[in-house]
Structure 1
Amino acid sequence: MRLTKYAHACVRIEDGDRSVLIDPGCWTAPEAFHGVRAVLFTHEHADHVDEDLLAAARAADPELQVYTHADLAAELGGEAVAVGDRFTAGGFEVRAVGGRHAETIDGYPNCANLGFLVEGVYHPGDALHRPEEDVRALLLPASGPWLSLRAAIEMVRAVRPEHTFPIHDANLSEIGMANFDGWLGEEADTRFARIALGKSVDLP
């Protein structure tokens, strides 16, 4: 299984002719969609979903599948999925978990957020929901107004993934990324590695 990191929270998962793209937002390059069979959106924020990019991708491939929570599915014309649903997307077996966006302050933002487990690879979106299933590879949010370094470390310790790759990091400087990576490498019992933008890793 190959993971390719695009801008911010956007990750592509491929295995042979199977492929899904998760959260191609406003900083994602169009080539992230090339040849992909399905797109999963965790929630409605612009750094996770870009409607113009999606429209262009659908124009190029009318068979492109789109899955997300009900409110956003209605807006995008995609297929609605809910917490606990198991479905097939781009050839992968997927389970939707979580349900709500992590709180920043005073109940904001109060919106839906689905995490997606794609055959052991977990993308939580903007939340730190801990799924019941074993997680082979965790795509760990590294920055956000709703997130602390302590919470990120505690997430890894609770989920206990074999591999951890940071995402949701567009707002971090190089110094900030190095600081985050140093803490996670020391304090979380996981194989931690950063995937450079546009680069890929193959899970053994």
Structure 2
Amino acid sequence: MIGRIRGILVEKTPGQALVECAGLGYEIDIPYTTFFHLPESGQEVTLHTHFAVREDAQSLYGFAAKLDRDLFRLLIKVNGVGPKLAVGILSGLDAQQFIRCVEAKDANSLVKLPGVGKKTAERLLIEMADRIGQLEGQFVPMSPGATVAGGPSSGQAATGPDPREEAEAALIALGYKPQEAAKAISKVAEEGATSETLIRLALRSMIPAG
């Protein structure tokens, strides 16, 4: 099991980071809540990881905080929730917001996440209610603009000619319909905004913090 990786961040895109460690480059799938806190490329980063092995694939998932990784591991134990959906959940809601939803039995916020229908939301609330107690004492809120492993937050947009198009593509990759993605980005579009900013604002507008 690969539980943590510390190395140099070679590149980052919404949903994935490439980290070089001891001469090896690890492609790591990440939720957007982790992407927003990555340092600039070329700087050191530490990610808490989960290594998933299936018959047809081997995938490495990374998270800025240990709590996020541990919550991910609890989520994939829920019937009908696989790694991809768990990453999607943690992309739309950070750990603290998800825990609040469970404690408040807030299914409405959960069904706004792509791939989460009413039945899945209800199952999450029921099954996670007994499991989130395992996470008590771990959560340390990460202040806005904070970075992983001490690196400064990047103010640059990820590679792409148009931040709006890139942000829309990122939301579609997360599971939102093209019309939903375009509408959300259009609603929060600001002159000069980076794709990171647009994605963050769009997710907040679609899934307001409870």
The structure whose Rg is larger is 2
Structure having the higher helix fraction is: 2
- TM-score higher than 0.5: no
Specify which structure has the higher proportion of strand. Answer: 1
